[in-house]
Amino acid sequence: FKGRSNTETDPGAWSWWSKEIDANDIQLGGAAENLPNNEADRNMFTYLGGSKNLTSAENKISSDNTAITKDMLNISSATDAERQQLLNWVRDLDVFDSDGDGSQTDTRHRLADPLHSSPVVVIYGGSDDDPDTTIFFGDNQGFLHAINGRSGTSSTYGQGEGEEYFAFMPDELLSNQAELMENSQSVSHIYGLDGSVSVWSHDSNNDLDLYDADDFVYVYTGMRRGGSNYYALDASDRNSPQFLWEIKGGPGGTNGYEELGQTWSKPVKTKIKMGNNIREVLIFGGGY
């Protein structure tokens, strides 16, 4: 925070990523404020089982992507216009003109709640005075976000402070979006990627940056109450993230994980010895 950080006693508190005082208004500030005004500039992806390059056209979350069907969105009887409206809403467009400005194509600047997903910071390089950091966290709309964590004023590393590199939603959570858009009164909370994020960052030559050919950043997350799956992404290149793998728990899921429950357990990256070999592994619980 700029100035004092106790927002209960200082209504003038101002968070680093905000353009104005935001202490007493939860709709101001933060990464949401820094979402682009042109929604076409957002990198929003899913994975539909084809190319593991998330930036490929088949993985883009967009009304233009015909691979995202009405059945996937749980709106099988909807019109094409209703499908387009829903996907535009998912991309953060103000399709209901909630701000009353007469436009349905401006950005809402909204992120869903990261209720149980604690943010994880990865330092990709930079300097002590200007580190190149990225914050990874999940939210209950179903997105895993990668946000520029810097508090400076320039865009040295491709995105400005608090801006989003990309957002990834597993295809299993596309079916939640219509109910979320409806925003009806309910005592039930819809959960998405509500699990804790783990990161394995590998600096091959210990030069304190992650830009060399053999360096990588792998990101892992569960769903907590959102489901029984784990997901792994390669975020070494934040402008071109890759889908690594998924584990689907429960009956009909990934072989060997049929009894995996809700993935509340944060994966722990470690090494174990198997015979004469040292294996890199993730360890997590059997689910809730």
Q: Give residue-wise pLDDT tens across range 137-161.
A: 999 999 999 999 986 544 454 556 8
pLDDT greater than 60 at residue 250: yes
pLDDT (tens digit per residue) in 165-175: 999 999 999 99
φ, ψ (nearest 5 deg) of residue 173: -95, 0
pLDDT band of 205, cuts 50, 70, 90: very high
Residue 270 counted as domain residue: yes
pLDDT at 9 over 70: no
Q: CA 118, CA 193: separation in Å to the nearest integer?
A: 11
What domain range is 18 assigned to? 1-31
pLDDT value at 133 more than 90? yes
Give yes or no: residues 24 and 154 share one domain.
no
CB neighbours of residue 32 within 10 Å: 19
State pLDDT tens for residues 12-35.
788 878 888 887 787 888 899 999
**Residue 288 belongs to a domain:** no
Structure tokens at 195: 């699990």
- Return the residue matching tokens 């002590």: 128
| 150 and 245 housed in the same domain | yes
Is the domain of 194 the same as that of 278? yes
109 within some domain: yes
Angle at 29 between CA 26 and CA 31, to 5 degrees: 110
Tell me the pLDDT of the chain averaged across its residues: 91
3-class SS of residue 18: coil
* Mean predicted confidence (pLDDT) in 176-191: 89
Q: Are 30 and 15 in contact (CB under 8 A)?
A: yes
Residue 195 has pLDDT above 60, yes or no: yes
Q: For residue 221, what are the β-bridge partners? A: 197, 231
Cβ–Cβ < 8 Å for 20, 12: no
Judge whether 265 lies within some domain. Answer: yes
Contact 23, 9 (CB under 8 A): no
Same domain flag for 220 and 167: yes
Alpha-carbon gap, residue 216 to 85, rounded angstroms = 37
Task: Look at residue 2 and tell me whether its pLDDT is greater than 70.
Answer: no
Asked if residue 117 lies in contact with residue 139, where contact means CB atoms within 8 angstroms, the answer is yes
| In the predicted structure, residue 110 carries a pLDDT above the cut 80 | yes
What pLDDT was estimated at residue 185? Answer: 74
Question: What CA–CA distance (Å, rounded) separates 92 from 111?
Answer: 9
Same domain, 19 and 91: no
Calpha distance 14→29 (Å, rounded): 8
DSSP 216: E
Closest residue by Cα to residue 258 from 218, 229, 226: 229
Top pLDDT among 212 and 187 is at 212
Report residue 7's pLDDT band, with 50, 70 and 90 as the boundaries. Answer: very low
User: How would you class 8 by CB atoms within 10 Å of its CB: exposed for 0-12, middle for 13-18, buried for 19 or more?
Assistant: exposed
23 and 43 belong to one structural domain: no
Tell me how many domains the chain contains. Answer: 2
Secondary structure (DSSP) of 24-85: T-TTSSHHHHTS-SSGGG--EE---SS-SBTTSGGGB-STT-TTS-TTTTT-TT--HHHHHH
Q: Are residues 101 and 74 in the same domain?
A: yes
Same domain, residue pair 42 and 153? yes
The answer to whether position 237 is within a domain reads yes
Q: How far apart are CA 108 and CA 208, in angstroms?
A: 38
Which tops the pLDDT comparison, 158 or 248? 248
pTM of the model: 0.92
Residue 276 and residue 259 in contact, taking contact as beta carbons nearer than 8 Å? no
Q: Give residues with Cβ within 8 angstroms of 41, minimum separation 6.
A: none
Percent pLDDT > 90 in the chain is: 77
